[in-house]
Amino acid sequence: MLSELNTMINLLLFLSIKPITSGGISYQDQPWHSECFMCETCRKPLAGTRFTSHEDHVYCVDCYKTDVAKKCHGCKNPITGFGHGTNVVNYEGYSWHEYCFSCKKCSLSLANKRFVLNGEQIYCPDCAKKL
């Protein structure tokens, strides 16, 4: 319900007949008043700040991390694609930062390597033989 209301507010602001005389921005080839281009969740203005989009909505980095981003099955932190750890491993409905996808026993990185899933834990083939 809140998302639908925010979408309607954004649409009304987008369709605003108030001309953009200064300070406007362009996003995806559409003009926006700076004050109308805001985070879907917290409504903070996004002009001049870092933001991301997901399913046709824009979010400030903080709201994206807490409300939208998948959480890493290893470290439980959000997988954002920003900065360190932009590569992601997906398997059986779980997602990991590439650097978190490692053997539970010996900590060998298993990204792009063979692994064994035992319960919810991942192991390299050598450690899996010792279970």
Superfamily of domain 2-68: Cysteine Rich Protein (2.10.110.10)
Pick 5 or 35 by higher pLDDT. Answer: 35
Q: Which single residue is written with the structure tokens 């450690």? A: 127
pTM of full prediction above 0.75: no
d(CA 31, CA 8): 17
First to last CA, the chain: 49
Domain ranges of the chain: 2-68, 70-131
The set of long-range contacts for 59-67, using a CB threshold of 8 Å and a minimum separation of 24, is 63/39, 67/41
Beta-bridge mates of residue 54:
57
Using the predicted structure, report yes or no on whether residue 43 has a pLDDT greater than 80: yes
Fold equal for 2-68 and 70-131: yes
| Listed residue (3, 18, 14) closest to 59, CA to CA | 3
Query: pLDDT class for 81, splitting at 50, 70, 90?
Result: confident
Tokens at 121, concatenated? 């834990």
CATH 2.30.30.40 fits 70-131, yes or no: no
Q: What is the per-residue pLDDT for 15? A: 55
| Segment 45-73 mean pLDDT | 89
d(CA 65, CA 44): 15
